[in-house]
Structure 1
Amino acid sequence: MKPLVIAIISILFIQCGKSKFDVAKGKVGSLTTKTTMQEIDGIFKNDSVVKILSEGIKGDNLFQEDDKYKIYEKGGKHLLTIIPQEQLDSVSTIKSVEIFDDRYKTKSGLNINSTFQEINANNTINKVESTLSSATLFIDDLNATIAIDKEDLGLKAFSTQKVTKEQIPDLAKIKSLTIWFN
């Protein structure tokens, strides 16, 4: 009987430890497509949640930014930034999660410190789009976008030059990693 109990407890600990930093389509750690904004404080009860709320439609700012929920470890390390689907709505689900901590990773090992070579070898890059300062990679099987700074590509920032997958150097680093929940 004891070996069975120990085995079950071990499996539970392994599953709990694993899921805290797992990233997959529609999942970042304990966050899923069904998670509401009112659950954020409970999920991150051992961390600090900084809420930067917009003024919504009643505000004076026509170019209003989204609400942001920034998650920090107790030591001050920035883990995640969560954007809700609907602003100023506690029952809204999550629109996107930007990852800042390298412990959050996919089964293939993709994390914020991955190089382009690692991204390209383990994921299907469906599209590359240029912005003024970065190249954005679209990974549909994760519903993720990865931004790579144009300076890492040998291009001038604020240029409108189109970027192809073949132009990206293997050692180019990730500027940002966002998982979309829509």
Structure 2
Amino acid sequence: MPKPPYRLLLSLLLVAAITGCENEKENPFAIAAGKIGHLERTARIAQLDSIFAQDSLVRDTTKLELGANDKIEVYEKGGSHLLTLSPGGDSLKRIGNVRIRDARYLTPEGIGIKSTYGDIKKAYEIRKILSSLNNVVVLVKGSEAYFTISRESLPGALRYNNAPVEAVQIPDNAPIKYMMVSWD
């Protein structure tokens, strides 16, 4: 005697639900709008111990007791440096800036600390280039992330001065020195 079709339909729905739940697991290394892995833009510094319960936080307790805003480093159990968090300037004591330290953290476009300027150009529209004595900072449209490239990666005439740098003057193979996310 054949099985009623509703059993087959029920079985298929169950498999789809299980598969859907597996696909909805949060990527602990995804960088998205207002979120870096498990860390959300709205998180307060006091919540970091619970957000990173599986990891280790390193703080300068002397500076924290004195009320100074100091960086908080996040390490994976086993020692890999994941993130460096800087408090924001708001009264709610939230995270203002995040420095990405681990190559597993990627934007939806696949950009991470192992990417190059050419990768950034392909993934984003360049909004602005800021120059300093040792680095150039690349700001992109549509992302809270920004990227620092060492002047050592630039052509010789641009390396040793504070002259403005245009987007076309940065070589595509220039590596990212720092990758930051700004929530301030």
Match among 57, 60, 80 for residue 52 of structure 1: 60
Alignment correspondent of 2:148: 147
Structure 2 CA distance for partners of 1:2 and 1:118, relative to 1, 3 Å? same
Q: Distance in 1 between matches of 2:173 and 2:98?
A: 24
Contact 2:145 2:182 (C-alpha < 8 Å) held by counterparts? yes
Q: Distance in 1 between matches of 2:29 and 2:74?
A: 13
Alignment correspondent of 1:8: 17
Q: How many residues are aligned here?
A: 174
Q: Is 1:120 equivalent to 2:128 in the alignment?
A: no
Secondary structure (helix, strand or coil) at the match of 1:108 reads coil
- Structure 2 regions of 5+ residues with no counterpart? 1-9
Q: Distance in 2 between matches of 1:50 and 1:3?
A: 48
TM-score (norm 2): 0.83
Alignment correspondent of 2:167: 165
Answer with 1 or 2: which has the greater Rg.
Answer: 2
Sequence identity percentage: 32
Contact 1:21 1:103 (C-alpha < 8 Å) held by counterparts? yes
Match among 48, 65, 70 for residue 67 of structure 1: 70
Q: Which has the higher contact order (CA 8 A, sep 6+)?
A: 1
TM-score (norm 1): 0.84
| Displacement after TM superposition at 1:84 (Å) | 1.4
Root mean square deviation of aligned Cα: 2.5
- Structure 1 regions of 5+ residues with no counterpart? none
1:92 alignment partner AA? K
